[in-house]
Structures are given as C-alpha cells and as structure tokens.
Amino acid sequence: MTEAIPLGILAVVLAWPVPVALARARWALRMPALAMLCWQAIAVAGGLSMIAALWYLSRGAAVLLALHLLLNLGLTTLGAMRQRRRHLQLVELLSTPMPDRPGTRLIENEAPVAYCLPGAPRSVTVLSDGLLRLLTEDELAAVVAHERAHVTQHHHIVLIAFKAWRTALPWFPIASRAEDAVALLVELLADDDARQVVSDDVLASAVTAVAGADAASVASRVARLTA
Amino acid sequence: MDLLWQTSAPLAATELRDELAGDPAITTVLTVLSRLEAKGFVTRDRDRRPHLFRASLRRDDYMAQLMYEVLGSAPDREAVLARFVGRASKTEADHLRKLLGA
C-alpha cells in the first residue's frame, strides 16, 4: 500500500508539471530530437506509473486502465490505417505519377498542397499543380525532402501514439498539449532533414509560400530557419 | 475510369474496351471494373445483359472529397497524412469552401 504513494506522486508529476514545463521550453525548438525523446519518455513513464500506482490500490482498476490504453492505441491505429487506405484509393484514382520523381504523385488542383501518405509497402508523396506553379524548382525539392523525412523517421507512428493517448485520457488537458507539441516537433525534425539537402533560405521561403496568408502558424519554423 | 467520367450513359464492358487505347483483353477490362466496383467507384447494373457500368460519382465530387480530407480540419487528419504546412491557411479555407459549395 505504501508503495502506491511514491508511484502516485510520480504519476501526478508526469501528468501535469513536467509536460507543462516541456511544452513551454524554448530549448525544444533548438533540439527537437531531444524534446521528442522527452515527450515519449513522459508518455510511457506517466502511463506506467499510473498503472503501477493503481495496482497497489486495486488490481482490477490497474488492469482496466492498461486495457483501456492498449485498446485505444489499437483502435486509433486501425482507424487511421483504414482511412489511409481509402484516401490512397482516391489518390490513385485522381492523380498521375510524376515520372521524374519516384513515389510522388500529382493531383490537378489549384490549392497548393503537399503531403505524404505513410503506408506499407510504399509511402506516397502527393503534390498539387497549384503548388508546382507557386514554388521554384529548389523550393519544391525542399518540400519533397521534408515529406520524405516524415516517412523515413516514422513520424506517423509517433503521431498515432500521441493521438491515442489523447483519446484514451480526454480528461487530461495535458494529453492534447502533448499532441500539439509533438505535431510541431515532427515538422521541425523534418525541416532539419530537408536542410541537409537545400539551404535554409530556400526551405524558409517554401514554408512561407505554402503557408500564404496564415504565416503565424509557421512562425516558429521560419524563425528557426532564418535565425 | 476517365472514360466512364466522360460519358454520362452507362457503358458495357465491350464498349469500354473498344474505346480504350491498346486494345486490352475483355477479361482485363472486367477485372478492373470489378475492382473499381468493390471500392465503390463504379456501379454495375446487373439487371441488363450485358452488365452496364457507370461512375458512382463525378470526378469533381471525388476531388472535393480528397481535398476535404487533406485541407479539412478533421482532428485525426494528422494521424492519417502529414502535410507540409499543418494548418489550413485562409486561402486554402476559401478554396475548400468553393469546392464544397460547387
């Protein structure tokens, strides 16, 4: 019974003050990989300490919580995979493969969009011709490198895990903050990967060109690249 | 599929084959059609002989669906696809409204 107290304290600390501090930390922008590692560690340790603290109070409740978390992870993953498959069917129907860029498809649409659809056996990067009109050749290479980085670093798996954490614990405001922070971090990590291929200026201008009027949402990304 | 989108009247598999470049075998055409039907993109009229096929929705409708999934603000979108610029900008939102209104 007394073991439950330190475990409970640990669970509370990991559920509230630690994530709040990490979400505010300025160094996270400079070291996104370390920040990402911290978020994952907090999520895993937080979940385990919660389950362990409950274990000493009521075994049934601990097992229920563990099942709840696992079930949510499974359901979220299945749902995302199903949606991805359906979306890929639409993409295949409406787009043409770009001959000079393997794994890349072009949709006829005036909205400038670029995104990647992670999946097995192969991931697809989708570009619109509105985007091609908007960007220079170099900027386009930056966008493609950025999207590739998402896939090679398996960002979709991290995002799904944090999304599952959020749906499993909706009463924890911190879970949504974690998901937002992680969503920004994967963009920064992908930017860092793209920076190895293209210059910072080119990547920054590509980000601002695509963001258009809504530049505020990408301010932290552009600030990093132009600093 | 583009052929079915271009013609408003439903087509038989043989008519489709005649229109297609490269003269594919009729079994190939039927296989593709069955696959499209399974995915819900093509509807088959089984009361007629031969079966008549037509596109379930117009191409524009599918494009609107696709762009909605890409630009829309569905909370789980980020888990499904990763966009270059995460949130929809104002121009994209306008574009989306236009697509859905059309």
B47 and B9 housed in the same domain? yes
The pLDDT value recorded for residue A48 is: 93
Pairing of β A104-107 and β A124-128: parallel
* Two structure tokens written together for B80: 């499904």
The pLDDT value recorded for residue B32 is: 87
pLDDT tier at B86, thresholds 50, 70, 90: low
B40 and B63 housed in the same domain? no
* Burial label, A209 (beta-carbon count in 10 A; 0-12, 13-18, 19+): middle
B73 and B49 housed in the same domain? no
The one-digit pLDDT tens for each residue of chain A (227 residues) are: 688 899 999 999 998 899 989 999 989 989 999 999 999 999 999 999 999 999 999 999 999 999 999 999 999 999 999 989 989 989 988 999 998 888 899 999 888 888 998 876 788 999 999 899 999 999 999 999 999 899 899 999 998 999 898 889 887 777 888 888 898 899 899 999 999 999 999 998 888 888 765 556 677 888 888 87
Which ipTM did the prediction report? 0.79
Q: In this structure, which amino acid lies at residue B48? A: R
Residue A81, C-beta contacts closer than 8 angstroms, at least 6 positions apart: A119
Q: How far is CA A144 from the centre of its chain?
A: 17
Q: Which residues of A23-51 are buried (b: 16+ CB within 10 A; e: fewer)?
A: beeeebbeebeebbebbeebbeebbbbbb
The pLDDT value recorded for residue B75 is: 59
The pLDDT value recorded for residue B95 is: 66
Chain B residues whose C-beta is within 8 A of a chain A C-beta are 1, 39, 41, 59, 62-63, 65-67, 69-71, 76, 78-92, 95-96
B73 and B88 housed in the same domain? yes
B44 and B64 housed in the same domain? no
B49 and B73 housed in the same domain? no
The pLDDT value recorded for residue B54 is: 83
B50 and B66 housed in the same domain? no
CB A209 within 8 A of CB A139: yes
B17 and B41 housed in the same domain? yes
Ordered by start, the domain boundaries in chain A are 68-226
* Percent of residues, chain B, with pLDDT higher than 90: 0
CB atoms B89 and A212 under 8 Å:
yes
pTM: 0.84
Question: Which of the two residues, B93 and B30, has the higher pLDDT score?
Answer: B30
The pLDDT value recorded for residue A199 is: 92
B10 and B48 housed in the same domain? yes
C-alpha distance from A93 to closest chain B C-alpha (Å)? 8
Q: Which residue range(s) make up the domain with B92?
A: 59-101
Domain CATH number, residue B14: 1.10.10
Q: How many domains does chain B have?
A: 2
Return the closest-CA partner of residue A204 out of A214, A213, B88, A194.
A194
Q: Which residues of B touch A132 (CB under 8 A)?
A: none
